[in-house]
Amino acid sequence: MELCKATAEDAQAIWDLRNSAILAGCKGFYDGKSLARWTEGELTESFTAVVARDFYVMKDGQRVVGSIMLDLTHPGLKRGEGQLEAVFVDPDMMGRGIGKRLMTFIEQMALSRGIARLRLASTLNAVPFYRACGYGEETPSLYHSPRGFTLDCCLMYKNLTARP
């Protein structure tokens, strides 16, 4: 498997990965109507532009099996903080260390850019995964979708330290 910078050509695969990960992973944590609204629609030019600019992917051959994004301009970030976004793993590939490899990679990237603390808004189903990756300071919150609905989530943080 290869971890690499995403390109605009990866956008559709990432969009499909996002939707399948949400539908599989969040089932039972959110109602079906919310999941349907969250995953409806088609790939947009704006999403494609963000993918090309900010995403990294894990590929198994040509197949995108994981994605992650580091946002350094997210509203509300304090100096020295970054926001993790779009951490998705193909449901058929979960439990194989892909998510942890993506997290380790992006944490090292953040450190190299002078970021000492990461935050993320976790879906309720993913909280145990992020805890296992060292994230804590859990605060119940709401995710406000640009599509006009809200979902319960959990804000989590991790102070980063350089690895020897």
Q: Which band of pLDDT confidence, cut at 50, 70 and 90, is reported for residue 147?
A: confident
Q: Give the H or E element holding residue 18.
A: helix 11-25
pLDDT tens sequence across 59-81: 999 999 999 999 998 888 888 99
Domains of the chain: 2-119 (3.40.630.30)
pLDDT of res. 146: 73
pLDDT tens sequence across 33-46: 999 999 998 999 99
Q: What rounded mean pLDDT belongs to the chain?
A: 93
Q: What are the two backbone dihedrals, phi and then psi, of residue 92, each rounded to the nearest 5 degrees?
A: -75, -15
DSSP secondary structure letters along 99-130: HHHHHHHHHHHHHHTT--EEEEEE-GGGHHHH
* Location of structure tokens 């944590």: 29
For the ranges 67-71, 146-150, 153-157, 158-162, which has the lowest average pLDDT? 146-150
pLDDT of res. 69: 96
CA 111 to chain centre: 18
8 Å CB contact between 20 and 91: yes
DSSP secondary structure letters along 55-81: EEEEEETTEEEEEEEEESS-TTPPTTE
Nearest CA-CA partner of 51 in 12, 93, 103, 95: 12
Asked if residue 164 has pLDDT above 60, the reply is no
pLDDT tens sequence across 121-135: 999 999 999 999 999
Please state, in angstroms and rounded to a whole number, the distance separating the CA atoms of residues 132 and 61: 28
